[in-house]
């Protein structure tokens, strides 16, 4: 078939008698009339299925999402396997009753970039990245489509407003008695879990199972995250360098105590405690044996004495790297009167940029119950088998 370059657009000429006999009559004149072309195009458009989120993603176009409610983010796409278990009736928990697949709960307005679209048994699941949780993972992070609204345009970042000091302290104190939940950063949990992933008809959940199913509770960094409207970093791996250092190297418990102020963080990669006042700290810890877990006040002096038996006070977390030191640091992130608080993110912290994202970067050792260094999983013991009270895991590099 040769195109006559002197003919008008959309006009093609067919050469040879065989070609003429093998095509519709409209082609035998050498002209494919414009009205017929328009009719064909309209028929094709009508027959095509509407472009779905999956279709947009598969076509190579960027796809974004925004949380429309509090939304659990998991490190596995198998939501129903977690919330229902193998038999469809139970939660997939470890021996401490924790759902290790939960990474964090995204606040409404949290923006995501969608990296993959997966068909689930009940709904679509997105593999996502977000600046609100910029930690690498080997498996990626996943969110159920029913918790988000998708868009072809990059959404604006979530801009949390940091409450004042008294408001934060009040929120912390009001959390006393809240249970420890691995990955939890909202004491009221996510009520939609029962609607989206309901237990079998007729199965009644006791109060404890219901709270676990709906993720009601807080882990150690989640306690601070909730009290600050999601302003502070979500993981202890970032909190160890958040704000300004308070020099404590070589000091005893009394010396350290004198330097502390309310909202200072006593932190290492694995756990964080928050200085509440001159006499108390507040923390959320997991007690696998039962009886001492959840959010509670503890004596500041006794906490420091206990800590100094097993850990070394450091001026900077980097001071303990490379020599195997089990240390802890004090970070001051809330400003003095007239000062500015620490930024939401540390300079140089990896950002996904809602369009400038790096892919999910692998981190060794990730599997169920084995958490990647630098991720939310550091806020609890790796498997709750080595410590009666979880919330303190081996130091990460």
Q: Could you tell me which of 368, 90, 85 has the C-alpha nearest to residue 210?
A: 90
**42 and 69: one domain?**
no
Between residues 91 and 284, the one the model is more confident about: 284
Distance CA 128, CA 114 (A): 5
Q: Helix, strand or coil for residue 163?
A: coil
pLDDT digits (tens, 9 = 90+) for 189-202: 999 999 999 988 87
Enter the tokens of residue 370.
């084995």
CB 320 within 8 A of CB 259: no
* Total domains present in the chain: 2
Chain Cα centroid distance, residue 381: 19
CB 365 within 8 A of CB 372: yes
Contacts of 26 (CB under 8 A, 6+ apart): 32, 33, 36
**138 and 249: one domain?**
yes
**104 and 43: one domain?**
no
Between residues 270 and 339, the one the model is more confident about: 270
**372 and 306: one domain?**
yes
Largest Cα span, the chain: 103
**236 and 371: one domain?**
yes
Distance CA 151, CA 375 (A): 27
**95 and 39: one domain?**
no
Domain-embedded: residue 277: yes
Domain-embedded: residue 29: yes
Enter the tokens of residue 376.
């939310």
Distance CA 237, CA 137 (A): 14
Across the range 252-277, mean pLDDT stands at 97
Distance CA 168, CA 378 (A): 24
**282 and 155: one domain?**
yes
Domain-embedded: residue 227: yes
pLDDT band at 38 (very low <50, low <70, confident <90, very high): low
pTM: 0.77
122: domain CATH number is: 3.90.1720.10
Domain-embedded: residue 24: yes
Choice among 18-32, 51-65, 88-102, 212-226 with the minimum mean pLDDT: 18-32
**pLDDT at 36 (0 to 100):** 64
The DSSP code sequence of 69-130 is S-EEEESSS-HHHHEETTTTSEE---TTS--TTEEEEEPTT-EEEEEEEEE-SSSEEEEEE-
Distance CA 163, CA 120 (A): 39
**Which residues constitute the domain of residue 167?**
57-390
**278 and 157: one domain?**
yes
Choice among 47-51, 246-250, 312-316, 337-341 with the minimum mean pLDDT: 47-51
Kind and range of the H or E element at 126?
strand 124-129
Q: Helix, strand or coil for residue 28?
A: helix
pLDDT band at 34 (very low <50, low <70, confident <90, very high): low
Q: Could you tell me which of 386, 371, 392, 164 has the C-alpha nearest to residue 267?
A: 392
Domain-embedded: residue 397: no
CA angle 98-111-264, nearest 5°? 60
Distance CA 7, CA 93 (A): 72
Domain-embedded: residue 395: no
* Average predicted confidence (pLDDT) for the chain: 78
Contacts of 19 (CB under 8 A, 6+ apart): 1
**36 and 183: one domain?**
no
**315 and 289: one domain?**
yes
CA angle 270-384-296, nearest 5°? 60
**210 and 345: one domain?**
yes
**203 and 78: one domain?**
yes
User: Locate tokens 């299925």: which residue?
Assistant: 49
CB 229 within 8 A of CB 163: yes
Across the range 218-222, mean pLDDT stands at 97
Domain-embedded: residue 251: yes
Domain-embedded: residue 96: yes
pLDDT at 116 exceeding the cut of 50? yes
């Amino acid at each position: 078939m040769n195109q006559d370059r002197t003919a008008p657009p959309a006009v093609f000429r067919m050469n040879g008698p065989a070609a003429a006999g093998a095509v519709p009559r409209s082609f035998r004149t050498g002209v494919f009339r414009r009205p017929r072309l328009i009719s064909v195009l309209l028929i094709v458009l009508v027959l095509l299925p509407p472009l779905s989120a999956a279709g947009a993603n598969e076509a190579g176009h960027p796809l974004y999402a925004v949380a429309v409610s509090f939304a659990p983010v998991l490190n596995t796409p198998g939501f129903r396997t977690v919330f229902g278990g193998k038999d469809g009736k139970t939660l997939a928990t470890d021996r401490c009753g924790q759902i290790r697949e939960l990474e964090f709960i995204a606040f409404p307005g949290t923006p995501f970039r969608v990296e993959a679209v997966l068909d689930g048994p009940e709904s679509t699941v997105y593999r996502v990245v977000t600046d609100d949780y910029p930690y690498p993972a080997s498996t990626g992070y996943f969110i159920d489509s029913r918790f988000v609204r998708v868009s072809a345009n990059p959404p604006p970042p979530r801009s949390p407003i940091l409450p004042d000091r008294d408001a934060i302290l009040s929120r912390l104190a009001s959390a006393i008695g809240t249970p420890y939940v691995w990955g939890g950063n909202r004491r009221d949990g996510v009520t939609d879990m029962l609607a989206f992933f309901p237990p079998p008809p007729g199965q009644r959940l006791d109060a404890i199972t219901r709270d676990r199913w709906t993720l009601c509770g807080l882990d150690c960094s989640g306690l601070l995250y909730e009290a600050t409207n999601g302003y502070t970093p979500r993981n202890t791996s970032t909190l160890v360098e958040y704000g300004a250092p308070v020099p404590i190297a070589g000091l005893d418990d009394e010396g350290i105590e004198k330097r502390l102020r309310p909202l200072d963080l006593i932190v290492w990669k694995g756990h964080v405690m928050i200085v509440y006042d001159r006499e108390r700290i507040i923390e959320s810890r997991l007690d696998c044996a039962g009886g001492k877990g959840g959010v509670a006040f503890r004596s500041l002096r006794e906490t420091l004495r206990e800590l100094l038996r097993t850990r070394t006070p450091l001026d900077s977390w980097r001071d303990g790297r490379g020599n195997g030191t089990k240390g802890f640091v004090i970070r001051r992130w809330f400003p003095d009167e007239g000062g500015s608080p620490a930024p939401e993110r540390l300079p140089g912290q990896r950002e996904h940029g809602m369009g400038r994202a790096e892919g999910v970067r692998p981190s060794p050792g990730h599997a169920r119950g084995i958490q990647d260094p630098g991720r939310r999983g550091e806020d609890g013991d790796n498997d709750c088998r080595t410590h009666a009270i979880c919330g303190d895991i081996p130091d990460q590099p």
